[in-house]
Amino acid sequence: MSRDADRYRERLEAVEAKARQRSPQFAGEPGGGEVDAAPLYDHAGLEATGFEPTADLGFPGLPPFTRGVQPNMYRGRLWTMRQYAGFGTAHESNRRYRYLLAQGQTGLSVAFDLPTQMGYDSDHDLAAGEVGRVGVAIDSLADMRTLFDQLPLGEVSTSMTINATAPTLLALYIVVAEEQGVDRAALRGTIQNDILKEYIARGTYIYPPATSLRLVRDVFAFAEEQLPRFNTISISGYHMREAGCTAVQEVAFTLANGIAYVQTAIDAGLDVDGFGRQLSFFFNGHNNLIEEVAKFRAARRLWGRIMAERFGAKTERARALRFHCQTAGATLQAQQPMVNVVRVAMQAIAAVMGGCQSLHTNSYDEALGLPTQEAVTLALRTQQVLAHESGLGDLVDPLGGSYAVETLTKEIEAHAEAYIATIDDLGGMVAAIEQGYVQREIQAASYRYQLDIENERRLIVGQNAFAGDAASVPVLKVDPALERQQIDRLEAWRSARGEAAVAGQLSALRSAADGEDNLMPLIVAAVRAGATVGEVSDAFRSSWGHYEENVTV
């Protein structure tokens, strides 16, 4: 066998040497690179990683969860098809949600505009020009009522992509559900609530990290008691990957953020097996199909070990990494936009083969603007074809046992673990962020990626290779008049509410912000009385201030 392996390697080296002479673009390691660095992914290479089938694979639905978090995966229940949507006013977005549900979507996913994400009402000076642009504008309980009008919150799960103001939007959701007659305990869904990645990659933070973690902790404690079926956080690698990090960095930095959240909750006296069952994750589905499948498997295995060994989690539910995946927006090209349909389908296949619990497929026109109804329908149909025509749902971990997948899974796990050890040495993720370490690592990776494109070591169809005629597709335009309409509704809301009750609730919030009591019940009371998202945020700003990043690049 050894002699045959040697002969194989000799022949392979000769063939690849000829191929390099013919084309400088021949092959390369996953994610790009020179052919000389390309691994063979054979039996010997897998053995060199220390791979042990019993320990490293186990069984689906059981630790180490490499093969998935359910024993039968999609044979029992398909992933949730959750198309991320929101633009303009609550009324406009509600129409899109009802359309998507009618088309077969199985879960809601809400995109909020930047003022809502940053805790500014639509009439704030800093909100000018941004109201309803990249998501829906939500200022008050009236907006939330409109957003979910005729949507059965007791039957459908809702994901809300919101972070700095997550407790306030969750409070609004609770009140609207109760007005529909739905008990809190019956609500299903996810609040993103992942503030640490905002300091790293997105920038929609408000308060300093320590006080932001206090809000995350309060949501954990409140939801464990009041919202047992709701995911309290979606720990997100997606945005860091969009900012340019590698697959290894996405796993490492996401799990390091998770470690910080879990430690914060434990330090506050919460039980890891209690709040741990409500943690969820959010990953990017990028272009390299095999690498992405391995990434998801490595993340599950590593998180299961972290929860058991570092934090003493005993239940399988608390140790299992459940994740939502969204296809990679950063890979979408404005040139030849219909080619994006192929990219999205390929990325979605990786997510399904990697064992996601829910999935968003991007629309082909998102490099140009918000998705049109036609584009978002095709994106949903992509998932439906995968679910019902591809046969992938019939298999559990379909690529498990592959030399390439198992080797890459081991390698990603090992490199991610090394990153986490470095972050531990720096004092944990908050300290690493404040020192700029994580940001610099992502910036360096992004720079290398861009250089590969510019030097044509990495080919992007339609951008630096295979250019064609510019294609024209319809682009959704948000009516600028919607901003004025939203401000008018906000002013009407303020004039109709009881000002004394609102003032009292905001005063209570400011006082509680300086203490240690859980803030969630007070936030619920404030929005029920009529306080706006901006007013709740201002109450906390008055106590905690506004965080200013100080990072040397």
Sign of the torsion angle spanned by Cα atoms 62, 66, 68, 71:
negative
> pTM here?
0.93
Helix (H, G, I), strand (E, B) or coil at 474: coil
Helix (H, G, I), strand (E, B) or coil at 8: helix
Q: pLDDT by residue for the chain (553 residues), tens digit each?
A: 467 767 767 776 777 677 666 544 433 333 333 333 457 788 888 999 999 999 999 999 999 999 999 999 999 999 999 999 999 999 999 999 999 999 999 999 999 999 999 999 999 999 999 999 999 999 999 999 999 999 999 999 999 999 999 999 999 999 999 999 999 999 999 999 999 999 999 999 999 999 999 999 999 999 999 999 999 999 999 999 999 999 999 999 999 999 999 999 999 999 999 999 999 999 999 999 999 999 999 999 999 999 999 999 999 999 999 999 999 999 999 999 999 999 999 999 999 999 999 999 999 999 999 999 999 999 999 999 999 999 999 999 999 999 999 999 999 999 999 999 999 999 999 999 999 999 999 999 999 999 999 999 999 999 999 998 767 888 888 889 999 999 999 999 999 999 999 999 999 999 999 999 999 999 999 999 999 999 999 999 999 999 988 755 5
Quick one: which of 345, 338, 333 has its CA closest to 289? Answer: 345
* 538, two tokens: 């201002």
* 443, two tokens: 């910036």
Rounded distance between C-alpha atoms, residue 58 and residue 386, angstroms: 27
Helix or strand run (H / E) with residue 239: helix 238-242
pLDDT at 26: 36
Quick one: which of 320, 406, 492, 513 has its CA closest to 43? Answer: 406
Rounded distance between C-alpha atoms, residue 127 and residue 219, angstroms: 27
Rounded distance between C-alpha atoms, residue 421 and residue 252, angstroms: 10
For 507-525, what is each residue's pLDDT tens digit?
A: 999 999 999 999 999 999 9
Bridge partners of 191, per DSSP, are: 160
> How many CB atoms are located within 10 Å of the residue 89 CB?
25
* H helix intervals, 355-402: 373-388
**Class of the 48-454 domain?**
alpha beta
For 453-465, what is each residue's pLDDT tens digit?
A: 999 999 999 999 9
Name 382's Cβ contacts closer than 8 Å, sequence gap at least 6.
Answer: 341, 344, 345, 348, 361
Quick one: which of 134, 77, 75 has its CA closest to 110? Answer: 134
Region of 73 please: left (phi>0), alpha (psi -120 to 50) or beta: left
Rounded distance between C-alpha atoms, residue 246 and residue 80, angstroms: 26
pLDDT at 36: 38
What's the DSSP call for residue 75? G
pLDDT at 21: 63
Name 6's Cβ contacts closer than 8 Å, sequence gap at least 6.
Answer: none
CA 380 to chain centroid, in Å, comes to 18
Peptide bond before residue 64 is cis, with ω within 30 degrees of 0 = yes
Sign of the torsion angle spanned by Cα atoms 272, 173, 488, 90:
positive
Name 13's Cβ contacts closer than 8 Å, sequence gap at least 6.
Answer: none
What's the DSSP call for residue 549? -
CA 112 to chain centroid, in Å, comes to 14
Q: What are phi and psi of 285, to 5 degrees?
A: -100, 100
Rounded distance between C-alpha atoms, residue 283 and residue 278, angstroms: 17
Helix or strand run (H / E) with residue 30: none
